[in-house]
């Protein structure tokens, strides 16, 4: 967490190089989210589940084709929770779905523009707070409880990590992109198993 905060402060410091007027944009994407688990026995991952990402951002141009993009997003994560089958029957069939209010801060780099637009790469930290969540086991759907009790079924309310983004922005302002979100905070209250969010996304955007 300390490294994320230091990175955020370093990027914010670059805003002293602003050269042009800021612009506004919207970005939406299909999320293919999953949870990875680490324990003394090794690592494992639940199957991915399709979710949604919606984001509004401000772009602040910097020097040398760089720009800063702070934003606010609705980020949906989770995973399927099927654990295999035995004698043709699924042992556990369910899912976990969590909605976060997320604040990303991406440093953008735009490659030289051609007749159609320009490619871009981006990356930076994010922090998020869970606003709701549900779990389904077999036929039962329950609300997720967010708290601080160790070794309980509750989840932690906060997450943080790193964003990575690549895409192409057309001259008319529309864009296509692919992204990856790497969660760095353990989201479960379990001393024996650490659980982290992983999200791959494909989406569209528009910038004024």
- CB distance 36 to 43 below 8 Å: yes
**Structural domains counted in the chain:** 1
| Residue-range definition of the domain harbouring residue 47 | 2-207
Contact 125, 8 (CB under 8 A): yes
Mean pLDDT for the stretch of residues 85-113 = 85
98 band by pLDDT with thresholds 50, 70 and 90: very high
Summarize the confidence of residues 167-190 as an average pLDDT. 96
What's the pLDDT score for residue 17?
46
Say if residues 82 and 136 touch (Cβ distance below 8 Å).
no
- CB-CB contact of 52 with 79 (8 Å): no
CATH of residue 190's domain is 2.40.160.20
pLDDT single digits (tens) 52-94: 999 999 999 999 999 999 999 999 999 998 765 555 555 567 8
- In this predicted model, which residue has the larger pLDDT, 21 or 123? 123
pLDDT of res. 151: 64
For the chain, the farthest-separated pair of C-alpha atoms sits apart, in whole angstroms, at 65
- The secondary structure of the chain, three-state, reads CHHHHHHHHHHHHHHHHCCCCCEEEEEEEEEEEEEEEEECCEEEECCCEEEEEEEEEEEEECCCCEEEEEEEEEEEEEEECCCCEECCEECCCEEEEEEEEEEEEEEEEECCCCCCEEEEEEEEEEEEEEEEEEEEECCEEEECCECCCCCCCCECCEEEEEEEEEEEEECCCEEEEEEEEEECCCCECCCCCEEEEEEEEEEEEEEC
Average pLDDT of span 99-103:
98
């Amino acid at each position: 967490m300390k490294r994320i905060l230091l990175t955020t402060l370093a990027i914010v410091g670059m805003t002293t190089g602003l050269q042009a007027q800021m612009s506004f944009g919207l970005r939406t994407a299909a999320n293919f989210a999953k949870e990875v688990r680490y324990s003394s026995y090794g690592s494992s991952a639940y199957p991915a589940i399709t979710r949604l990402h919606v984001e509004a951002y401000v772009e602040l141009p910097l020097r040398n084709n760089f720009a800063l993009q702070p934003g606010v997003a609705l980020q949906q994560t989770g995973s399927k929770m099927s654990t295999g089958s035995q004698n043709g029957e699924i042992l556990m069939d369910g899912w976990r779905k969590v909605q976060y209010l997320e604040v990303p801060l991406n440093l953008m780099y735009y490659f030289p523009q051609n007749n159609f637009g320009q490619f871009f790469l981006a990356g930076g930290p994010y922090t998020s707070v869970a606003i709701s969540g549900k779990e389904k086991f077999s036929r039962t759907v329950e609300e997720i409880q967010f708290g601080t009790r160790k070794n309980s079924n509750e989840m932690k309310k906060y997450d943080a990590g790193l964003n990575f983004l690549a895409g192409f922005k057309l001259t008319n302002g529309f864009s296509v992109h692919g992204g990856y979100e790497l969660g760095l905070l353990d989201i479960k209250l379990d001393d024996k198993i650490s659980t982290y969010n992983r999200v791959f996304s494909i989406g569209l955007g528009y910038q004024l």
